[in-house]
A and B are shown apart, each in its own frame.
Chain A
Amino acid sequence: GDSVTQMEGPVTLSEEAFLTINCTYTATGYPSLFWYVQYPGEGLQLLLKATKADDKGSNKGFEATYRKETTSFHLEKGSVQVSDSAVYFCALSEKTSGSRLTFGEGTQLTVNP
């Protein structure tokens, strides 16, 4: 079945540091890939997505590239801010499974001033 594996957390960085959160997936077909973010006390929000190989999703300074050859979708940001502190979830969706989202375990990011 489909699965998503994220790097273990939590991750603590200083403001303006470079961020990478690793995500790899296993799927039977050609999934769409997503990063969702959950800020404290709020619901899950879509951060970015990519629907086919080599696509790059980007939003709010975050980027992730769909790498079919390595089955990865790593999240990066060049300079994090305190306001980026949140839990980040990598997820995939396949049409063959009704397009439900399969999530990774989540990575807690804390950015200190």
Chain B
Amino acid sequence: EAGVAQSPRYKIIEKRQSVAFWCNPISGHATLYWYQQILGQGPKLLIQFQNNGVVDDSQLPKDRFSAERLKGVDSTLKIQPAKLEDSAVYLCASSLVPANTEAFFGQGTRLTVV
């Protein structure tokens, strides 16, 4: 079974530029999460989708971050404009259903904002 795929693996941009990350979850997984992991910290949820609807985006900085999940499968996370403090690893995860089942994580995209 293929895992959660993310691209790109690494991205370096200048502050005020825009960037987008892509995630392809495990086939059949209805729930998709985006987490931000700052160096030395645990991952923090940015947004959770159930199929193509948003379940929780309470911790998403909506002035600069946006995310969508078209057709309830792939998802993109965008930052515009980026700030230095956005440097982090962005993790995508998916699960079959949200009710306390295992979440499977991708390898993440490491973003460096200079």
Residues of A within 8 A of B (CB): 4, 32, 36, 42-46, 49, 51, 89, 91, 93, 95, 97-106
A100-B33, A106-B41 known; A95 and B103 CB under 8 Å?
no
Q: Which of B4, B43, B45 has the most CB of A within 10 A?
A: B43
Interface segment out of the listed B64-72, B78-86, B104-112: B104-112
B100:A32 contact, CB within 8 angstroms: yes
List 16 additional A-B contacts (Cβ < 8 Å) besides A43-B4, A43-B106, A100-B56.
A4-B42, A42-B107, A43-B91, A43-B108, A44-B93, A44-B105, A46-B104, A51-B100, A95-B100, A98-B56, A98-B98, A99-B98, A99-B99, A101-B93, A102-B45, A106-B41
Q: How far is the CB of A57 from chain B (nearest CB, A)?
A: 12
| A105 partner, pick from B33, B41, B102, beta carbons under 8 A | B41
B99:A95 contact, CB within 8 angstroms: yes
A43:B105 contact, CB within 8 angstroms: yes
CA distance A93 to B3 in the complex (A): 22
Question: Which residues of A sit under 8 angstroms from B102, Cβ to Cβ?
Answer: 46, 49
- Residue in B closest to A95 when the chains form the complex, CB atoms: B99
Question: Which residues of A sit under 8 angstroms from B100, Cβ to Cβ?
Answer: 32, 51, 93, 95, 99
CA distance A22 to B55 in the complex (A): 31
B33:A45 contact, CB within 8 angstroms: no
CA distance A44 to B90 in the complex (A): 12
B41:A45 contact, CB within 8 angstroms: no
CA distance A95 to B45 in the complex (A): 15
A98:B48 contact, CB within 8 angstroms: yes
The answer to whether B44 has its CB under 8 Å from any CB of chain A is: yes
- Residue in B closest to A105 when the chains form the complex, CB atoms: B42
A43-B91, A49-B102 known; A100 and B42 CB under 8 Å?
no
CA distance A44 to B4 in the complex (A): 11
Question: Which residues of A sit under 8 angstroms from B101, Cβ to Cβ?
Answer: 99
